[in-house]
Structure 1
């Protein structure tokens, strides 16, 4: 796992701009704390920050392949290719020779063999760039599900790119402007594929390539979800899901550095941990997170029916993992250094689930003391129908994104303290409507499909392409900020494609959420976990956390130079500050407060120019 950056400028020689490339690459030191590499050749400059996971001694990047003493192609690569051993054997059969034992050289040689079509052959999470010395073209590639990020900026004579916005923003020619559409993107819980909030940036869409040459840029989609007739019976479907998930976990356990799992005690992470325990040659490590006072202050609500810790301990004992509990407190979550690290990793205001960003960062830091790689359960809810909105008739029938309907919208409300005129000008409802129509137009359908099956296919597609990306972004940024690589077996594209085609009735055949997954791993887990309702990632209930946020908001409100001040409804801010604290502080009641503070920090630190 790594961070990549680069610059192609076909009208100049970049040899004199090595310092700019170095500055772009250095912004991602946290993503790659183990090594740094720079490559400059005429119109192209490639940078790399390395987190050594496979072949720690070798596989230095950027890496160049030679033929007859001449350079053929150079790569800067981020991610993991899980089928690299099989590809290496296939390529060796074609006469390719290897100097290293990692996956980077396999990808480079695969490019020499198959060109841009190599993307179809890669199984993994990745974002990389290949400079072809022969054709003088640059190729950018992103994995199918968008697990690994990749941003770019088109220039008059080429392109700038990086794993994170900060790498591109470090170039002196890139303006840090955010227009009304960009601010709306930052404020709303709708991930628009390709959108990057900053006016100058775009994000390469999952499953796409971008070829850059003197003729301009050409973007191509190499993978998309397909609507296919499902011919397996229920028993075969359950066994196939188990086989695909087991294969994904087994493949993702390959590592030359210490590895672990994230274990909440929910169905998803428990299934991953149980399978990892079965496939690991030694005892698997597992980590969970909780809050120091959770045992005394936790009370069930409509979202969380029970604390995680007892279930995580039970699973750990059941599968025999070496389990570790990471306890956090409000002082850590509100520590200015921690919040600065979070903002510096995201490059955007991380308002939704506000405390969950610093908590995930702190968890990642704690894990990094013991392991470099972790397996996590993201995407299971989107894939198997785990969220409440998959089972709420009003959300299913609503003509919008289901997570933004009345039953769920309060969890993603971040505009409550913003100026009403600004909110009206941004017109989030119209933007949502347009984004929703665009998403629906993409949904693949079977001929004659109608009714419930048609609608549930739409909801599955919306969740797998518009919602899960927010979770993958959060996991990538918070883990990589701590130098931790997180792998997501539920994002295996073979598993995703297979389950997407399964009739909805089978995904809830026992009358519950995630029936298919539960049946597929029933023999692996304690009954208590199999029967446990869906529970989200933990959030602090400590009123001390909200009290600290309010104190910071009061300072912002009193500071005439605070950049967010003109965007706020001052009366609402003061009404919130005067409001008594509840006995427990819930994350869904803090959305506006979190947004105001993160916006202020973002505008100040990144010197944002708002073009509204």
Structure 2
């Protein structure tokens, strides 16, 4: 796992711009604390920061090969889990290797298959190749969008980077945020290609972007396709079990310490059970980590999203599989520490406003990084198998909008804290409606499918092409900010394709959510977890958290001319700080978190706001 950056300029000599390249590369230091390297040609410059995972001494980057017709250089972030098979295939085709790294395999894959190399990869990746033979830059991102990748067209080429901060370090990039950027920030529809920064875009998942003297060209090499599912229930469960076992085994490969993120839910527990069994075969004990809050278990109160605390289920799993388990315990002071909030905002490049669910994730990863370099996560199982509660709420899933926004409109009224004039210009309701209609046009259907199956295919597609991308970005940024590689087995494209095309009746054959996953992995689960109802990532219920937010918001209000009030309604914030923290609703608490994130983001990035 690494951080990549660089740019192409067809009218300039970038050999004279080493200082700018070094500045861009330096912004990726957290993503790659182990090594740094650059490669510069007349019209292309590549920068790399390395987190060493496989072949620690041999995987230095940028990596290049010389051909009779010119040099080819690459910067690569991610892991190709099938690199062993690909290496053997390429050796059979005459390729010679000097290292044991997957990076060299991908580079030789490009030599063999050109831009089609992506279709041969199983993994998570974002990489850029400068091909001097054709004077072209090729940027490729993994199918699900696990690894972030951004680009910024310029007058005579393009800038690119794993994160926006790398691009923004170049003097050619303007730090402008306009109404279009703010709409998606507050709407949470995950518009494909969106970046908060004007003029900047994501390389979309499953996409190749080629830059040459004729301009920028894109090609989609993978997308969700509708196919007939002919396997019966027993065969489907067996297939999911087979895939999950293979995926976890592949993703445990590393030359550094590994662990699993364990929440006590079905998803992470399934990964834990499969990983523990595999490591036991190698004579190794699995390490597991969880995040929790002081007093949460003893004082837990069921709410709309969470029926039970996580801790009892975590203990059941750890006991069953015999893992070496550690709870990372947090209190309101740690969760609301302004320096932690600034670290999270810097990691994400956006004022996301997810509060303790962001800060606790960052602090969890920071604690894990002291003992492990690779962690497996249960992220994305709910999108793949249909686990969220709104999948099973008839009103939400049949609403004419994104189901996660329909399930609890109060919590998702994300523009509540905005100045009235700005909220009117943004027209978030209109934006969300447009994005929803656009998203539905991308869904393919099977002929003869029932109305319910057609609708549930739409719901699944919305989650796998929209919501999951936002959550994957969140996890990547928080983990890489501390140099931790998080792998997501449920995003293996083979599993995604197979489960996506199983009928909804099969996904819920036992009358519960995630039936296929539950039955495919029950052999490695304690009964308590196999029977547990879906519970999302934990959030503190301590009123001390809301009280600390209010105190910090009062300090904002004391600053009469603070820039944050270009966006935030001062009267709304004044009312929020007077609310009883013990009875504060989710909307108010979310608004306080968002206001504080906006304040720190404006202070850190100093963006130019175009609000006209």
Asked if Structure 1 and Structure 2 have the same fold, meaning a TM-score greater than 0.5 normalized by the shorter chain, the answer is yes
1: CA distance between counterparts of 2:416 and 2:327?
A: 35
User: 3-state SS of the aligned residue for 2:222?
Assistant: coil
Q: Answer yes or no: is the 8 Å Cα contact 2:305–2:535 preserved in 1.
A: yes
Q: How far apart are the structure 2 equivalents of 1:270 and 1:231?
A: 29
Q: Is the Cα contact below 8 Å between 1:80 and 1:103 reproduced in 2?
A: yes
Q: Residue 44 of structure 1 corresponds to which residue in structure 2?
A: 44
Paired position in structure 2 for 1:169: 168
TM-score computed with the length of structure 2 as normaliser: 0.98
> Deviations for 1:248-306, whole angstroms, at most 9, x for unmatched residues?
11110000000000000100000001001111221111111101221332222221111
Task: Give SS of 1:471's match.
Answer: helix
Q: CA deviation at 1:318?
A: 0.5
CA contact (8 A) 1:210 1:218 kept: yes
Q: For 1:475 and 1:312, locate their aligned partners in 2 and report how far apart those are by CA, in whole Å.
A: 21
Q: Which residue of 1 aligns with 2:201?
A: 202
TM alignment of 1:528-607, pairs within 5 A: 528-582=528-582, 589-607=588-606
- Which residue is 2:418 aligned to? 418
Aligned to 1:355: 356
Distance 2:66 2:587 in 1: 55
Q: Which residue of 2 aligns with 1:318?
A: 320
Contact 2:415/2:428, CA 8 A, preserved across alignment: no
What pairs with 1:87-486 in structure 2 (closer than 5 Å)?
A: 87-280=86-279, 281=282, 282-351=284-353, 353-405=354-406, 407-486=407-486
Unmatched tracts of structure 2, length 5 or more: none
Shift of 1:7: 0.5
Determine the structure 2 residue equivalent to 1:35: 35
Contact in 1 for aligned 2:576/2:588 (Cα 8 Å): no
Q: Secondary structure at the match of 2:17?
A: helix
> Aligned partners of 1:252, 1:80: CA distance in 2, in Å?
9
Residue 371 of structure 1 and its aligned partner are, at CA, apart by 0.3
Aligned residues: 608
Contact 1:354 1:587 in 2 (8 A): no
Report the aligned-residue RMSD.
1.2
Residue aligning to 1:492: 492
Give 1:478 deviation, angstroms: 0.4
Rounded Cα–Cα distance in structure 1 between residues aligned with 2:567 and 2:71: 52
d(CA) in 1 for partners of 2:391 and 2:297? 31
2:275 and 2:286 in contact (8 A); partners too: yes
Following the alignment from structure 2 to structure 1, what is the Cα–Cα distance between the partners of residues 307 and 294? 19
CA distance, structure 2, for counterparts of residue 410 and residue 105 of structure 1: 50
Contact 1:540–1:587 (8 Å) recurs in 2: no
* TM-score for both structures, normalised by structure 1: 0.98
Deviations 1:525-554 (A, max 9, x none): 111100000001111112221111111111
Return the offset for 1:419. 1.4
Contact map agreement 2:259 2:374 (CA 8 A) in 1: yes
User: For 1:409 and 1:107, how far apart are their aligned partners in 2?
Assistant: 45
- Paired residue secondary structure (1:327): strand
Q: Tell me, which stretches of 5 or more residues in structure 1 are unaligned?
A: none
Aligned partners of 1:19, 1:519: CA distance in 2, in Å?
Answer: 56
1:97-131 CA-partner distances (Å, limit 9, x unpaired): 01110100000000000000001000000000011
CA distance in 1: counterparts of 2:424 and 2:390, whole angstroms: 27
Q: CA deviation at 1:243?
A: 0.6
- Alignment deviations for residues 352-384 of structure 1 (CA, whole Å, 9 cap, x no partner): x31111100000000001100000011100111
Q: Secondary structure at the match of 1:412?
A: coil
In 1: Cα distance, 2:497 partner to 2:137 partner? 30
- Cα offset for 1:519? 0.9
Counterpart Cα distance in 1 of 2:408 and 2:267: 21
